[in-house]
Amino acid sequence: MNLFNFPVINIALAIIISWALFAIFCSLVYEAFAQLKAERGRFMKKYILLQLQDFPNGVNWGSLLYMHGNVDLLSRAPGKPSSDVQPCLFAETLIDVVATAHLVQVQRLPADLEYATNENVSYVNGTLANFKKATQTLLPSDVMMFLTQALKSAELNSMQTGALDEGVIYKKLVANIENWYTELTQRLSLWYKKKTRKYLFAIGALLAFFVNVDSVQLFGVYRDYPANSQAITSFYNNNADQLQSDSNNLKILLDKFGTLQKETVLPVGYDFSAIHLAMLDKTIPQPQIHAKMYWFWKIIGVLISGFAASFGGPFWFDVLKKIYSKKS
Amino acid sequence: MQYYNVHSHTFTMTNAPRRFLHLYLPDFVADAVDKITNTQPGTVTVEFLLSKLGGNGGKRYASFLKIGKSKNQPEVFDALMNSYTDDQTMKFVALTMNMEYCGAGPSTSGFEGQLEEVLNIKRRYPNRLLVFLGVDPRWAAGQRSIKEKVEQYFSTPLKVNDTTSVSPFCGLKIYPSMGYYPFDQRLMETFEWAATHKVPVLSHCYYLGGIYNNDEKYLRENLSAADPYSGTTFNGDYVKERGFWRWLLGTKNSNNNLDSCSYFMEPNSFISMMDHFKAKGTPLKLCLAHFGGGNQMKDRNSSDAPFGAARRNWFLQVKDMLLKYDTLYTDISYALHDQEIFPTVFDELNHPSYGNRIMFGTDFFLTEREQQENKTYSNFKTAAKEKTLSNFDHINAWDQAASKSVAEFLKSDFYDPAS
């Protein structure tokens, strides 16, 4: 028995393809919005500022990091910070920011600490010496604990025949901070994905309302007119590869959508939207919008489309791939 | 001749408390403006909307937000320098401000972070930027700690490059309306140190203008305080005014807080401290900025009693104090955008007793909501150059206010204008 002979499976397939196409469209709109707002860079900056806020010492190392030439030169626009700060650049800049801070220079080392510093870990290199001084003299905070630990670990791992090689310590210190930053950026990607889903849902629901991508209505159309579901399935079969590879090319996508619109008689587009129907000449009867439960199902349909868009195009294409692999 | 702008700011919204806008706008408007102006297109949109809905005032307010929100401190300073195209040697005093305790939440950068940022500009322009260190009695625990912090910040040279180091700060800035009296015991040792080293202190003193403490509970508990200089208790009353529109717009509490903070910064609150240092033989070099406020300058003949203990016009209070204390200065910042005050300012600049202690400053970038900096500067400079001061060897008012007076005010163990 072939499951794909069941009409309900074909309807589901057609719906998923519709969602995949709609999700691509929504992603494109979101991408334009994100570019305009420099959303990725601002999101990253927001979290770097949050993580490197050092309340006990009254300083935000993240803010100073973004003002440092190394990072500032990447975009030179505080409102549009770069989202692509490499781990090595981040680590080296953070070390420099801490080491050159006037806040560190004004601290006085207690006599016994000075003795210990000079005798045990005496750095010739100014950057390392000042970084060490920061970890010794600033008030304990989450950020300072992290930096202290990074330096201690670098020192311990650089011990060779009892002597300390400053070059090796610096490299290991950079590596330790890099590791933390890499972990943070991985988490940031996840958080950004979550945030993107919320935006995609909002954009999806809004667009679905204005261009009438109503999942409930589409379900009805695919159920009542099997030719439409077959048309959209064959459209997908013929264009699947190109749709995925050119998902960022708006022109190609619009051409494809235009072709699809001609091949099918789907109630998609502004002409079918509830807002357009409601604004039409009142003398022309519009029975459907006065039907019982019309607005209820419209809202449900639009919300389902928004929800589908929030998963993004790649998710739905993966689902389709899996379905087709079963079929073959 | 070396000219100075003795009163400017480079701080941005990241240095200001997170709820900074709530000090000036109803909560719902502040939240909306804050979110929208996070981006350049948002700022442009707000600027457009405010210019349509709020007239010129609205547009200026948006310009103020644009500088404060879309730039960092070095860019703000660049914008300031670029407003003085005819004088590439002009020096600017940047006043840092500790706004962490004004009841509007902590800042993103932190106060020490704000100092780091401004010192980064100082490294780039060591000769053109003169930094005043903002002090607040709540900055550290106890007067000894505050004084030691200040001393360390002043005495640790700022490394510009491998061959050059400069003195990072050249004065102190206080902002009493943030919630403390200038005679606060916790600042006594710091002012002793400042008086000994002739370090100038500049205090905000604009009637109902500027930033204030927005925590009603804190104000109620701290408006009455002991004055260690006079040994008396200073009684300030929380001002509670009613107003339907204030209530409707959600600004009733913030207005009451602003009114109440007048007790902290009114000129009268500085008298016991000035008397103390004068009697001690080490007079404190103090500038009561803004000459009490442009509004008070214009209302000097009004019978309305302003908020505060003395219930007397602030401009007149400052004038009386200028006569009494030889080391008291004032500046004409902020009010300067209003050309109506020019005749009064020129009369005062020619006063034989204290005309040489009135300084030029603009209060950039807070003045952007009134008028652009280059216009404020050029309007005053043009008018002042034409005005000769008969009581001061016919020197013109510009040379007096923007050069001689400021140089004298800034001279200390940490800064020599002649060098």
Identify the bridge partners of residue B17 per DSSP, sorted by sequence position.
B107
Residue B306, SS3 per DSSP = coil
Mean pLDDT of A16-27: 90
Task: Kindly tell me the sign of the dihedral angle through the C-alpha atoms of B81, B86, B89, B93.
Answer: negative
In a domain, A191, yes or no: no
Best mutation site among B116, B120, B122, B149 for testing chain A: the one with the most A CBs within 10 Å?
B116
Q: Which of residues 24-63 of A touch B (CB under 8 A)?
A: 36-38, 42, 49, 53-55, 57-60, 63
> Which structure tokens are listed for B356?
């040489």
pLDDT digits (tens, 9 = 90+) for B293-314: 989 998 888 888 888 888 899 9
**What pLDDT does A282 receive?**
63
> Is the same domain home to A50 and A15?
no
Q: Do B72 and A67 touch (CB under 8 A)?
A: yes
Q: Is the confidence at residue B188, as pLDDT, over 70?
A: yes
Phi, psi of B358 (to 5 degrees): -115, 120
> Is the same domain home to A255 and A127?
no
pLDDT digits (tens, 9 = 90+) for B7-40: 999 998 888 888 777 776 777 777 777 777 776 6
CA of A130 to nearest chain B CA: how many angstroms apart? 13
Q: Is the confidence at residue A254, as pLDDT, over 50?
A: yes
> Is the same domain home to A48 and A173?
yes
Query: In total, how many domains does chain A have?
Result: 2
User: Model confidence at A118, in pLDDT bands (50, 70, 90)?
Assistant: very low
Q: Do A106 and B159 touch (CB under 8 A)?
A: no
Residue B128 touches chain A, beta carbons under 8 Å: no
Mean pLDDT of B311-327: 95
Q: Do B72 and A78 touch (CB under 8 A)?
A: yes
**What pLDDT does A288 receive?**
65
Contact between A79 and A87 under an 8 Å Cβ cutoff? The reply is: no
Choose the closest CB to B41 out of A36, A55, A102: A36
Q: Do A42 and B38 touch (CB under 8 A)?
A: yes
The one-letter amino acid at B241: E
CA of A305 to nearest chain B CA: how many angstroms apart? 28
What DSSP assignment string belongs to B80-147? HHHT-TT-TT-EEEEE----TTSSS--BSS-HHHHHHHHHHHHHHSTTTEEEEEE--TTSSSSHHHHH
Instruction: Put residue A312 in one of left, alpha, beta given phi > 0 → left and psi -120 to 50 → alpha.
Output: left
In a domain, A300, yes or no: yes
Q: Is the confidence at residue B388, as pLDDT, over 60?
A: yes
The Cα B330–Cα B286 span in angstroms is 8
> Is the same domain home to A173 and A241?
no
Which residue in chain A has the smallest CA separation from B42?
A: A37
C-alpha distances in Å from residue B259, one per residue of A314, B176, B237: 59, 13, 10
Phi, psi of B285 (to 5 degrees): -85, 105
CA of B417 to nearest chain A CA: how many angstroms apart? 24
Of the candidate ranges A29-38, A73-82, B23-32, the one whose mean pLDDT is the lowest: B23-32
The Cα B316–Cα B311 span in angstroms is 11
Contact between B197 and B161 under an 8 Å Cβ cutoff? The reply is: no
The count of C-alpha atoms lying within 13 angstroms of the C-alpha of B321, restricted to the half-sphere facing its C-beta, is 30
Which residues does chain B have within 8 Å of residue A106's beta carbon, measured at their own beta carbons?
A: 149, 152-153, 156
Which residues does chain A have within 8 Å of residue B10's beta carbon, measured at their own beta carbons?
A: none
pLDDT digits (tens, 9 = 90+) for B346-387: 999 999 999 999 999 999 988 887 888 999 999 999 999 999
Q: Do B73 and A67 touch (CB under 8 A)?
A: yes
User: Model confidence at A261, in pLDDT bands (50, 70, 90)?
Assistant: confident
The Cα B2–Cα B410 span in angstroms is 13
Q: Is the confidence at residue B53, as pLDDT, over 70?
A: no
Residue B226, SS3 per DSSP = strand
Of the candidate ranges A92-106, B210-224, B275-289, the one whose mean pLDDT is the lowest: B210-224
The Cα B157–Cα A184 span in angstroms is 36
Greater confidence, A228 or A303? A303
Q: Do B120 and A67 touch (CB under 8 A)?
A: yes
Q: What is the mean pLDDT of chain A?
A: 85
Q: Is the confidence at residue B345, as pLDDT, over 80?
A: yes
Which of A124, A151, A186 is at the close of a domain? A186
Which residue in chain B has the smallest CA separation from A126?
A: B162
Q: Is the confidence at residue A25, as pLDDT, over 80?
A: yes
What DSSP assignment string belongs to A68-90? SHHHHHHH--TTS--S---HHHH
> Is the same domain home to A155 and A285?
no
The Cα A258–Cα B264 span in angstroms is 70
Q: Is the confidence at residue A250, as pLDDT, over 70?
A: no
The Cα A239–Cα A255 span in angstroms is 12
For A250-271, b where at least 16 C-beta lie within 10 A, e where not — what string? eeebeebbeebeeebebbbeee
CA of A172 to nearest chain B CA: how many angstroms apart? 26
Q: Is the confidence at residue B58, as pLDDT, over 60?
A: no
User: In this complex, how many residue pairs, one in chain A and one in chain B, have their CB atoms less than 8 Å apart?
Assistant: 76
ipTM value:
0.84
What DSSP assignment string belongs to A253-311? HHHHHHHHHHHS----SGGGSHHHHHHS-TTS--HHHHSTTHHHHHHHHHHHHHHHHHT
User: Model confidence at A119, in pLDDT bands (50, 70, 90)?
Assistant: very low
Greater confidence, B131 or B38? B131
In a domain, A94, yes or no: yes
Q: What is the mean pLDDT of chain B?
A: 89
pTM: 0.84
> Which structure tokens are listed for B326?
């030889």
Contact between A106 and B156 under an 8 Å Cβ cutoff? The reply is: yes
> Is the same domain home to A132 and A143?
yes
**What pLDDT does A289 receive?**
61
CA of B64 to nearest chain A CA: how many angstroms apart? 16
Element (H, E) at B159: strand B158-159
Q: Which residues contact A219 (CB under 8 A, 6 or more apart)?
A: A11, A15
% chain B with pLDDT above 90: 65
Identify the bridge partners of residue B331 per DSSP, sorted by sequence position.
B359
Greater confidence, A1 or B38? B38
Mean pLDDT of B401-408: 96
Which of A170, A186, A202 is at the close of a domain? A186
Q: Do B73 and A55 touch (CB under 8 A)?
A: no
**What pLDDT does A58 receive?**
94
Domain that holds residue A228: 3-37+211-327
The Cα B190–Cα B134 span in angstroms is 12
Q: Do A58 and B100 touch (CB under 8 A)?
A: yes
Beta strands, E only, chain A: 53-54, 59-60
Contact between B143 and B156 under an 8 Å Cβ cutoff? The reply is: no
Q: Is the confidence at residue B60, as pLDDT, over 60?
A: no
Contact between A133 and A144 under an 8 Å Cβ cutoff? The reply is: no
In a domain, A194, yes or no: no
DSSP B304: P
Phi, psi of A282 (to 5 degrees): -65, -20
Residue B142 touches chain A, beta carbons under 8 Å: no
Which residues does chain B have within 8 Å of residue A66's beta carbon, measured at their own beta carbons?
A: 72
In a domain, A165, yes or no: yes
Which residues does chain B have within 8 Å of residue A98's beta carbon, measured at their own beta carbons?
A: none
> Is the same domain home to A91 and A155?
yes
Torsion of CA B281, B285, B290, B295, to 10 degrees: 0
Greater confidence, B172 or A256? B172
In a domain, A227, yes or no: yes
Contact between A5 and A230 under an 8 Å Cβ cutoff? The reply is: no
> Is the same domain home to A45 and A31?
no
Which residues does chain B have within 8 Å of residue A59's beta carbon, measured at their own beta carbons?
A: 109-110, 112-113, 116
CA of B170 to nearest chain A CA: how many angstroms apart? 15
> Is the same domain home to A21 and A60?
no
Which of A116, A151, A186 is at the close of a domain? A186
> Which structure tokens are listed for B94?
């940047």
**What pLDDT does B401 receive?**
96
Contact between B289 and B205 under an 8 Å Cβ cutoff? The reply is: yes
The Cα B179–Cα A308 span in angstroms is 53
DSSP B292: B
Best mutation site among B112, B148, B155, B158 for testing chain A: the one with the most A CBs within 10 Å?
B112
Q: Do B14 and A63 touch (CB under 8 A)?
A: yes
Q: Which of residues 54-93 of B touch A (CB under 8 A)?
A: 69-75
Which residues does chain A have within 8 Å of residue B41's beta carbon, measured at their own beta carbons?
A: 36-37
Q: Which residues contact B58 (CB under 8 A, 6 or more apart)?
A: B49, B50, B51, B52
> Is the same domain home to A68 and A154?
yes
Most confident of A24-28, A217-221, B258-262, B345-349: B345-349
Choose the closest CB to B110 out of A38, A42, A60: A60
Q: Do B40 and A59 touch (CB under 8 A)?
A: no
Residue B288, SS3 per DSSP = strand
User: Model confidence at A160, in pLDDT bands (50, 70, 90)?
Assistant: low
User: Model confidence at B279, in pLDDT bands (50, 70, 90)?
Assistant: very high
> Is the same domain home to A167 and A289?
no
Greater confidence, A316 or B406? B406
CA of A106 to nearest chain B CA: how many angstroms apart? 6
Identify the bridge partners of residue A324 per DSSP, sorted by sequence position.
none
Residue B99 touches chain A, beta carbons under 8 Å: no
> Which structure tokens are listed for A50?
């949050």
Greater confidence, B249 or A98? A98
In a domain, A273, yes or no: yes
Asked if the peptide bond before residue B365 counts as cis, ω within 30 degrees of 0, the response is yes
Which residues does chain B have within 8 Å of residue A80's beta carbon, measured at their own beta carbons?
A: 40
> Is the same domain home to A32 and A47?
no
Q: How far is CA B380 from the centre of its chain?
A: 19
Mean pLDDT of A168-178: 95
In a domain, A202, yes or no: no
